[in-house]
Amino acid sequence: MDKKAMYKLTYGLFILTAKEEEKDNGCIVNTVTQVTTEPNRITVAVNKKNYTHDMILRTGTFNVSVLTENSRFETYRHWGFQSGAETDKMEGITFQRAENGIVYIEDQCNAYISAKVVSATDLGTHTLFLADVTDARALADEESVTYSYYQKNIKTAPKTEGKKGFVCTVCGYIYEGDTLPEDFVCPLCKHPASDFKKL
Ligand code: FE
């Protein structure tokens, strides 16, 4: 099998937000897809290690903010490479609230979609949420970012000079050690050992 074929699939990048009682949280996902128009439904696969995942599982509602080509690496670091379980991701962030009470982001995004979960399918590492679109609004004319555009134009190369071990090719986290355990999961971005490269 040629795994490179998988890279030919296109993906967008999104800030997925949820709210549980007084807690707001969000993470980065690349798996939002509209699956039907009548009814208007989307799916999103969310890694179970994300705190946002648990919040959506419990509350059944979420928002998706669509990131643009003008988004900055710092934004991905903020939403993607730290956990909402330990930090307040809303600190220092300018945000708005949709009708469902959940945060959406206007800065560096061109639209938001509010959704209500119809079903949750256990995929092992992820849960696939199928959801009804309950509200949606376009915010700007800028192009939506694709994962390949992000890889080529937004992502900053990690600083690895003089370091030994393995680097996460997704977020730049460095694992120091001679062997990387097969079941290792990046503590920052939750990607598996197969996404690490030996330095
Ligand atoms: Fe990582």
**pLDDT tens, position by position, 24-75:** 999 999 999 999 999 999 999 999 999 999 999 999 999 999 999 999 999 9
Provide the Cα torsion 98, 32, 35, 55; round to 10°.
-60
Cα 187 to middle of ligand 1, angstroms: 7
Cα 135 to middle of ligand 1, angstroms: 32
Which is nearest to 109 in space by CA: 43, 56, 63? 63
Taken in order 195, 153, 31, 10, the sign of the CA dihedral is negative
| Stated pTM of the model | 0.91
Distance CA 66, CA 13 (A): 7
